[in-house]
Amino acid sequence: MQNTPKRYLSRSSPPHISTLILLAGISALGMNVFLPSLPGMAIYFDADYRLMQLSVALYLAMNAVIQILVGPISDKMGRRPVILTGIVLFLLATLGCIWSPTAEIFLVFRMAQAAVAVAMVLSRAAVRDLYDQDKAASMIGYVTMGMAVVPMIGPAIGGALDQAFGWTANFWLLFGLGALILAVTYFDFGETAHKSGKTLIAQFREYPELLSSPRFWGYSLASGLASGAFFAYLGGAPFVGTEIYSLSTAQLGVYFSAPAVGYFAGNFLSGRYSTRIGINRMVLWGCWINGFGIALSLVVALAGLDTVYSFFGFMTFVGLGNGMAIPNSTAGALSVRPHLAGTAAGLSGALMLGLGAGLSALAGWLLGPGSTAVPLLVIMLATAVLGLLSILMVIRRQRRLGL
């Protein structure tokens, strides 16, 4: 652990927590701010909605690929240069999205925007560089609590910008904020990692040390599957809101933010109680709450009693459960092999977003003319149950080993 005193806007000291929040936030904003615009973008590009919906799945898939690579690279080169490079690439890709003449070219630049994933991954790795396991879970909770404000207000802002100025306004917002965060990071983010000194080949050869750990898999799957319910929601909720409940883009932006309200609360609980209660119990309760909310929504939908208020309202439980499960399971995964924190952050994040990409695409594919919300809710519930089983596996193994 590092004990260097923190000074704001100093490149020789560890980053301020506000800088870590901004880094995590720009990645989250890039994921969801434009989602209320998807139906209108399909019309603009004269493309099928399902093609435009791939802008979520492809972005998540590229996130997963980048996260596999970024961990070893940052363990070797340090967090700072990798983060700065990722943000610059994100800015260039955002301009490409704005000026794309076709849906296909837009999707290519949308995939390139995933370079900003390094900011989310390495902001968490930086926390683990600076704190021990339980304290890291608490600090990651506070970082992601601040990050939760972004998806809470992002779709609402995106919907309003779309109605006032068109869909490109969302991407100009991303460009402006990305440039600001690049400047803040350049001046405030002092290096937090002890560079490994190993070649990249040697770094990648350490993957088996993580992949052979049942606890790493358990924590990573708990995080990935709990959040998988939310990623399926990202893929299906724009269709559900506009086609089933007839919401405008501005209204959809407001309703779409429901999980983020719960996510904010869940991350506050993680920040406040993870050190006291322990990460395993926090993940367990988070997975229970996640599944509980989806199950309630599914029962209401199967009874034919669902409304826009019930569908989006129950999604606050998904956010609450994720806010408790993700920071704690992430801290657990990063603590299995502390000397491989960057690599673990990348692998764990890649697993989470790889699952998310598949579930998002599946949700978009299953929803078509005449659909109800039931197929989406079934996918979400199955994913939540598997996440619960994953953390139960970790708890059982630790008890057997006496940890």
| 176-188 burial: b if 16+ Cβ within 10 Å, else e | ebbeebbebbeeb
Number of domains the chain is built from: 1
pLDDT at 15 over 90: no
Establish if 287 belongs to a structural domain.
yes
- For the chain, the average pLDDT equals 83
The Cα 253–Cα 11 span in angstroms is 38
Establish if 335 belongs to a structural domain.
yes
Q: What pLDDT score does 297 carry? A: 94
Q: How confident is the model at residue 350 (pLDDT cuts 50, 70, 90)?
A: confident
159 class by beta-carbon count within 10 Å (0-12 exposed, 13-18 middle, 19+ buried): buried
Establish if 12 belongs to a structural domain.
no
Q: What's the mean pLDDT in 70-80?
A: 78
Top pLDDT among 306 and 210 is at 306
Q: Confirm whether pTM is higher than 0.75.
A: no
Q: Which of 1-10, 46-55, 219-228 has the lowest mean pLDDT?
A: 1-10
- Read off the CATH number of the domain in which 306 is found: 1.20.1250.20
Establish if 22 belongs to a structural domain.
yes
Q: How confident is the model at residue 317 (pLDDT cuts 50, 70, 90)?
A: very high
Establish if 2 belongs to a structural domain.
no
Alpha helices in 336-373 (DSSP H): 341-366
Q: Quick one: which H or E segment has residue 308? A: helix 308-335
Establish if 8 belongs to a structural domain.
no
The DSSP secondary-structure symbol of 242 reads: I
Query: Per-residue pLDDT tens for 89-115?
Result: 999 999 999 999 999 999 999 999 999
The Cα 369–Cα 303 span in angstroms is 20
The domain containing residue 233 runs over which residues?
A: 17-192+204-401
Structure tokens at 179: 């440039």
Establish if 322 belongs to a structural domain.
yes
pLDDT at 187 over 60: yes
Establish if 52 belongs to a structural domain.
yes
Top pLDDT among 347 and 389 is at 389
Q: What pLDDT score does 7 carry? A: 63
Task: Using alpha carbons, select from 72, 77, 75, 82 the residue that is nearest to residue 118.
Answer: 82
Cα–Cα separations (whole angstroms), residue 54 to 60, 98, 168, 265, 364: 10, 17, 18, 30, 8
CB 374 within 8 A of CB 245: no
Residue 401 CB neighbours (<10 A):
9
CB 254 within 8 A of CB 313: no
Structure tokens at 140: 């990651």
